[in-house]
């Protein structure tokens, strides 16, 4: 593995080929106390917290470029980085057997800030019982009581601190203005349909309809690059390298000793005196571990990779959120459709550039909801993102006319997939299979999601705005009809996780322990969404940041924050009523 590489980009090619082999040239070896691989949602947090100790040296490595694009920092332009591979690994899944054989789009950030620089900026923590479920697998330090203090530590909440929210963290969290009347109509319709209203879906009560929150600050995207990294880049003990591809982790026996990287036409070995921290995310972290000889021994041998540690769980247990759009025509010209016209887009852009305000300063997901699909479900298993426009998430397919939609889907799917190597080199994208909708429970929950959404849109609050149902369409009524619609039009919510599962060494699929150390290894941890044993009930950016905040205390041997006594809402009739 001595070939020298130059990072290139090709526009919108699913089988992205990032590397071009050139003449070998070896750069001088360097050494740091900690090497962090991936400057994303977790890596930037660790870089900030670990380098706060001036006695240690920290190297942060990012494969992608700096985030110097207005389309990254302008919240309403989040679809632009999703459109090609400039700031995005631009992955595609293998043909999904239960989704009409479609290859499903799986964007992952390849830029400073990682996926926090290209995501939809929705701030959602998940439900308290998600974390208690982790703790129930003999990992007590991951209960909600132990995680809540780190959610609070990370954030500065627009409305100040309380028992659930923080007011002095790096991550700014704001409410949307909900100026468009369709947002309030959606919240009111949810209440009219019999669901509660929640004043803070990240506080005491997740269940219900209410305002959504976003990671923006003064009209700008507040990625972890902006929140955690930029304020500390002047520290002399912190080094950032962008456009630097980590080829593999190096080992001496079972101890991680450094990494091999390619940067600016040179290959280089960089030593880690203390730890290598893998923060590449749910796709890239297992890929890198496998390229380094840590993974399922039989799979590694088939790729002619020497086995350092036979861990069957690396790349297994892949989970994600699948969603569909229930779309309605709108009878009044109040949607975002007018904003898509060229002249209006220019006006929106200028207002944002000059004042950081207006429609450019929001992600437009300003209202949402969490409901239970059936009686007997203890906490919400369906999530809504409401959008006052009928368009696909990445902006590639828009209805020609005024419309609105609810993104909805199961939050705790039982389908499991995997990430595997296609070739023993990082230039070949891994084979990703989500296996969406492979279980009857997942199909049942998705059918309920569509039918319950139709009920919400049928409420009186939408009388002034409701036109015909655009999707799935009135003709789609039977289970078979709805299943066919999901197979044809379901999309990822871009929340992959679970591929380096946290758990006991006796768990055959566990990759890391309760302290995120890779089982059987020394000096190596994984800190990102891949360590989630089970997916949480909501978007994954906020939980990933929390995981990194918690991991930083583990890595620096800092006493953990005291557990919180805060309680959470639960419907008193959940065993017998759906709402």
DSSP string, 230-281: GGGTT-TTEEEE-SEEEEEEEEETTEEEEEEEEETTEEEEEEEEEEEEE--H
| Alpha carbon distance 92, 16 (integer Å) | 10
Quick: pLDDT tens for 394-415.
767 778 999 999 999 999 999 9
Quick: pLDDT tens for 373-399.
999 999 999 999 999 999 886 767 778
Cβ(553)–Cβ(227) under 8 Å?
no
| Alpha carbon distance 354, 368 (integer Å) | 30
User: Confidence class of residue 274 from pLDDT cuts 50, 70 and 90?
Assistant: very high
Cβ(540)–Cβ(348) under 8 Å?
no
Q: Which domains does the chain have, with CATH numbers?
A: 23-65+109-174+222-315+497-555 (3.50.50.60)
Asked which of 28-32, 310-314, 543-547 is least confident by mean pLDDT, the reply is: 28-32
Backbone Cα Rg of the chain: 23
Indicate if the pLDDT at residue 18 is higher than 70.
no
Q: Which pair of structure tokens corresponds to residue 168?
A: 């002095």
Strands (E), 291-378: 294-295, 309-310, 322-330, 367-371
Residue 231 sits at φ, ψ, to 5 deg, of -65, -15
3-state secondary structure of 344: helix
Q: Which residues pair with 221 in a beta bridge?
A: 216
DSSP string, 19-68: EEEE---BPPPEEEEEEEE--STTHHHHHHHHTTSTTS-EEEE-SS----
Q: Which residues pair with 247 in a beta bridge?
A: none
The residues, any chain, with a CB within 8 Å of residue 61's CB and separated by 6 or more, are 35, 36, 37, 38, 39, 241, 244, 246, 259, 261
Of the listed 73, 495, 519, 576, which one is catalytic? Answer: 495
Quick: pLDDT tens for 75-126.
999 999 999 999 999 999 999 999 999 999 999 999 999 999 999 999 999 9
CB count in 10 Å sphere of residue 567: 11
pTM (predicted TM-score): 0.94
| Alpha carbon distance 199, 205 (integer Å) | 8
User: For this structure, is 217 an active site residue?
Assistant: no
Quick: pLDDT tens for 456-497.
999 999 999 999 999 999 999 999 999 999 999 999 999 999
């Amino acid at each position: 593995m001595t070939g020298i590489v130059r990072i290139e980009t090709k526009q919108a090619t699913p089988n992205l080929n990032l590397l071009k082999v050139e003449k070998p040239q070896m750069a001088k070896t360097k050494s740091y106390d900690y090497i962090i691989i991936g400057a994303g949602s977790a890596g930037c947090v660790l870089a900030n917290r670990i380098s706060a100790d001036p006695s240690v040296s920290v190297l942060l490595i990012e494969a992608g470029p700096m985030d110097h694009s207005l389309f990254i920092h302008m919240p309403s332009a989040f679809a632009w980085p999703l459109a090609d591979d400039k700031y995005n690994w631009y992955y595609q899944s293998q043909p999904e057997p239960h989704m009409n054989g479609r290859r499903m789009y799986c964007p992952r950030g390849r830029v400073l800030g990682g996926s926090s620089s290209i995501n939809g900026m929705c701030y959602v923590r998940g439900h308290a019982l998600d974390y208690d479920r982790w703790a129930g697998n003999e990992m007590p330090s991951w209960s909600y009581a132990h995680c809540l203090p780190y959610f609070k530590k990370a954030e500065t909440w627009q409305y100040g601190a309380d028992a659930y929210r923080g007011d002095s963290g790096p991550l700014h969290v704001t409410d949307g203005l909900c100026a468009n009347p369709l947002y309030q109509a959606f919240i009111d319709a949810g209440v009219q349909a019999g669901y509660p209203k929640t004043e803070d879906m990240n506080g005491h009560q997740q269940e219900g309809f209410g305002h959504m929150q976003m990671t923006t600050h003064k009209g700008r995207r507040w990625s972890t690059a902006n929140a955690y990294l930029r304020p500390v880049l002047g520290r002399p003990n912190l080094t950032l390298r962008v456009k630097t591809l980590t080829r593999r982790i190096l080992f001496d026996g079972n101890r991680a000793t450094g990494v091999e990287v390619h940067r600016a036409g040179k290959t280089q070995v960089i030593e880690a005196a203390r730890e290598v921290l893998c923060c590449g995310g749910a796709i890239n972290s297992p890929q890198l571990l496998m390229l380094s000889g840590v993974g399922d021994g039989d799979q590694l041998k088939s790729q002619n990779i020497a086995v350092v540690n036979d861990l069957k769980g690396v790349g297994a247990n892949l989970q994600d959120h699948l969603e569909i759009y229930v779309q309605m025509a709108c009878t009044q010209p109040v949607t975002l459709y007018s904003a898509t016209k060229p002249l209006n887009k220019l006006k929106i852009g200028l207002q944002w550039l000059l004042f950081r305000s207006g429609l450019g300063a929001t992600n437009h997901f300003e209202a949402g909801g969490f409901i239970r699909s059936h009686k007997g479900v203890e906490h919400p298993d369906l999530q809504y993102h409401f959008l006052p426009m009928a368009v696909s998430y990445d902006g590639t397919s828009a209805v020609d006319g005024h419309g609105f939609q609810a993104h909805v889907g199961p939050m705790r799917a039982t389908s499991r997939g995997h990430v595997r190597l296609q070739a023993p080199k990082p230039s070949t994208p891994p084979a990703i299979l989500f296996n969406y909708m492979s279980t009857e429970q997942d199909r049942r929950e998705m059918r309920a999601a569509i039918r319950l959404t139709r009920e919400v849109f049928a409420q009186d609050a939408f009388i002034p705005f409701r036109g015909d149902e655009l999707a799935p369409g009135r003709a789609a009524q039977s289970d078979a009809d709805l299943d066919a619609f999901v197979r044809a039009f379901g999309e990822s919510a871009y929340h992959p996780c679970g591929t380096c599962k946290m758990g006991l060494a006796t768990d055959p699929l566990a990759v890391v322990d309760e302290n995120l150390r890779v089982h059987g290894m020394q000096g190596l941890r994984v800190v990102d969404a891949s360590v989630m044993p089970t997916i949480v009930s909501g978007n994954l950016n906020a939980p990933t940041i929390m995981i990194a905040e918690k991991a930083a205390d583990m890595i620096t041997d800092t006493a953990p924050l005291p557990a919180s006594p805060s309680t959470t809402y639960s419907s008193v009739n959940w065993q017998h009523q759906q709402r």
